[in-house]
A and B are shown apart, each in its own frame.
Chain A
Amino acid sequence: MRRIESRLDINSENFRLNREHNERLAAELRERQRRARYERPQRDLDRLARQKKMFVRDRIDLLLDPGTPFLELSTLAANQAYDGEVPSAAQVSGIGVVGGREVIVHADDASVKGGAWYPLSVKKIVRTLDIAIENRLPVIHLCDSAGGFLPLQAQFFADRYYAGRIFRNQCTLSRMGVPQVAIVLGHCTAGGAYIPALSDYSVIVRGTGAIFLGGPPLVKAATGEEVSADDLGGCDLHTRVSGTADYPAHSEEEAIAIARDIVARLRRPQKALECGEAEPPYYDPAELYGVIPRDNRVQFDMREVIARIVDGSRFHEYQPAYGTTLVCGYANLWGYQVGILANNGVLFNDSSLKAAHFMQLCNQNVTPMVFLQNITGYMVGREYEMRGITKDGAKMIMALVGSEVPKFTVICNGSYGAGNYGMAGRAYDPRLLFMWPQSQISVMGAEQAANVLSEVKLRQLEREGATLTPEQIAAIREPVLESYRAQSSAYYSTSELWDDGVLDPVDTRNALGVALSAALNAPIATSRYGVFRM
């Protein structure tokens, strides 16, 4: 495979300004992540210490194999919800290595509101278990939750993807033969009690761990019975009498050691594809900071991005002269072959057909696909409708949904309209989806939406013989611009769990490497497509 020849002038003024801008965004991201991970009100930390419980981050450190990568997901979930008081949605989720085995960790964070489940906590847990199902990753649950946050129950209890889905997913995992180990380090109350009960193995800490459908206050209210948490659902009750938990432990450390011993006994699946020798990129990934324009309306060559992510910066480009607004081709990433689809402009008829064709090639060749999004949408206008832009976009989406190889999506800059769909947006089940800090995501651009809405209003009034003053037009445009600005940022997206996390661009290669390796725990089926509108 030939090396991509970078056309970037790393000594230019433009490069320097981009780099400064993007380094600042990366530093801001790291600071937001640090706060979400570690900054807690002192009284919450004091309470943990009083209860002799470890901080969730220390538990995870102890659980994982030292010196192995941990890909944390959705660190900034709920960063724009609940007045910012529920960092990471009170949950830690991530892919790591325990006893040499790839697993996914789901941990309640009792330093946030006693580990209560908010609506976005439930969304994050369901997503974590969906990832486990799609990639056949064993799950380790670190349980320590006060139960659902009752004032918001209407937003997490009854609907299809609400809390019931957590337990449904647990049963699905077990049915698929994917093991789960629960470590009960605090209370598992109400629905949370089913997490250890539906896990194949469960460990519980004497003194602090407890499992019950109704906690002591609820029992007192319901039947008048007064009982302590330990007598109601403590370690000895469940490991000696009820059989709800399997292994008693004297301390959190011992509980984690027992869980590690269990995971080390689990069968290791055959990986779906072989991994070759990895090679670092020839071009420094840190140069990505200078590649991404500081103004996100400025076009850039996605090959410059590919060159800073893939092994040896080598790329086999498919159809280099056709449909050039979409770059397609093969590369290796941490030794795994991938097919890359990257936007170099708006999607036309030819670039859509190229995408549909290349996706079918990747499936024939059993090659996972990586989508690098910078897409304003499919081309509009009479000329393109006449050539069937909608049916060509439909072909692309049909090929995408029929694909069985693992898909991964990185939103590098813009992600607008149907372009988001055709390029494996969230609804198209990429195994993992990440965003870069400057990315924007919405059904159309803020300016375009404001113009469309004021245009519609003007026509309405014209029919009635009225007109609008510039002030009245501004009054229509401003609120639209404002809501788009607030709800199309990467931080809003990640707050709502539309993605699996915001990435510092230089970490993209490693994140995709962990994601690929994890995805290959699941076998790859043969692709089967629906009807392509020709």
Chain B
Amino acid sequence: MFHLFAIRDEKLSAALARRGRAYVLLHDGREYPVALRQLPDGAAEIEVAGNVARVVIAREGDDTFVRLGGESYAVRWIDPLDRLAHAGGASLDDVALAPMPGTVVAVQIKPGERVTRGQTMMVIESMKLETAIVAWRDGVIETLHVSAGQTFERAAPLVTLAASREE
């Protein structure tokens, strides 16, 4: 699986592979010999397919800033698990299921209503404990499966949000 990087507004897929003691960069079906050498002043020398350049690299959280040829680039590695988590379209992730059997205490939403992530949609009671069912993402209520006072089994659907669109 290739890595995906966001560089400025562009997305690039690439990978690094070993060739003996050296490395190659794989991109767009081609292989480029690459090397990175630390310089004493904290900068580094990068060599890609024979071209040598001086770079300064700094990291902050998920972002890496690269200064190269008078320009600065923000580079971010996109975790494939983040990228692919919502690639499938409609799914069970659009439904809140009852974590345990119980009774609906109160309902705070109506079908068609817009909710924001973290908003309480209903409160259920089970084994003397009240649990708030909160919106796990922004969205629109598609179906309300239960009403106040109703009892339900474990894993019964409670609320369905309209399927999120792929970004």
Contacts and interface: CB of A to CB of B under 8 A. Distances in A.
Interface of A: 62-68, 206-207, 235-236, 240-241, 248-251, 253-254, 256-258, 260-261, 278
Interface of B: 1-2, 15-17, 20, 24, 26, 31, 80-81, 84-89, 91-93, 97, 155
Nearest to B92: A236
A513 to B, nearest CB: 12
A257 B1 CA distance: 8
B91 A260 contact: no
A251 B81 CA distance: 11
A66 B84 contact: no
3 tightest Cβ-Cβ pairs between the two chains A and B: A67-B17, A250-B88, A254-B84
Given A206-B91, A248-B92, 5 more contacts: A67-B16, A240-B155, A250-B88, A254-B87, A257-B81
A66 B155 contact: no
A66 B87 contact: no
Contact of B2 (A66, A258, A261): A66
B88 A206 contact: yes
Contacts of B20: 278
Given A257-B1, A260-B1, A66 B88 contact: no
A258 B17 contact: no
A204 to B, nearest CB: 12
A251 B84 contact: yes
10 contacts: A65-B17, A66-B26, A67-B17, A67-B24, A241-B155, A248-B92, A250-B84, A250-B91, A250-B93, A258-B81
A95 to B, nearest CB: 16
Contact of B1 (A62, A206, A241, A250): A62
A152 B155 CA distance: 41
B7 to A, nearest CB: 19
B81 A261 contact: yes
Nearest to A61: B1
B17 A257 contact: no
Most chain B CB neighbours (cut-off 10 Å) among A62, A65, A66, A236: A66
A200 B86 CA distance: 26
Nearest to A62: B1
B3 to A, nearest CB: 9
Nearest to B24: A67
B17 A68 contact: yes
B15 A257 contact: no
A257 B84 contact: yes
Given A66-B15, A240-B155, A258-B81, A251 B2 contact: no
Contacts of A257: 1, 80-81, 84
Nearest to B1: A62
B97 A240 contact: yes
Nearest to B25: A67
Contact of B31 (A62, A67, A241, A251): A67
A261 B79 CA distance: 10
A302 to B, nearest CB: 28
Contacts of A207: 88
Contacts of B81: 254, 257-258, 261
Nearest to A259: B1
B87 A251 contact: yes
Contacts of B16: 67
Given A241-B155, A250-B85, A256 B91 contact: no
Most chain A CB neighbours (cut-off 10 Å) among B81, B84, B91: B84
Nearest to B20: A278
Nearest to B21: A277
A241 B91 CA distance: 17
A256 B1 CA distance: 9
A389 to B, nearest CB: 46
B15 A67 contact: yes
A101 to B, nearest CB: 14
A448 to B, nearest CB: 47
Contacts of A66: 1-2, 15, 17, 26
A206 B92 contact: yes
A251 B17 CA distance: 26
Nearest to A335: B20
Nearest to B154: A241
A242 B26 CA distance: 42
Contact of A260 (B26, B80, B86): B80
B85 A254 contact: yes
Contacts of B93: 250
A65 B84 contact: no
Contacts of B92: 206, 235-236, 248
Nearest to B97: A240
A62 B1 CA distance: 5
B102 to A, nearest CB: 17
A184 to B, nearest CB: 15
Nearest to B93: A250
A261 B87 CA distance: 18
Nearest to A253: B84
Nearest to B83: A257
Contacts of B2: 66
A36 B39 CA distance: 51
A426 B1 CA distance: 35
Contact of A250 (B15, B17, B86, B155): B86
A254 B79 CA distance: 11
Contacts of A249: 84
Contacts of B89: 250
B77 to A, nearest CB: 13
Contact of B88 (A64, A254, A258): A254
A67 B16 CA distance: 8
B93 to A, nearest CB: 8
A251 B15 CA distance: 22
Contacts of B97: 240
Contacts of B15: 65-67
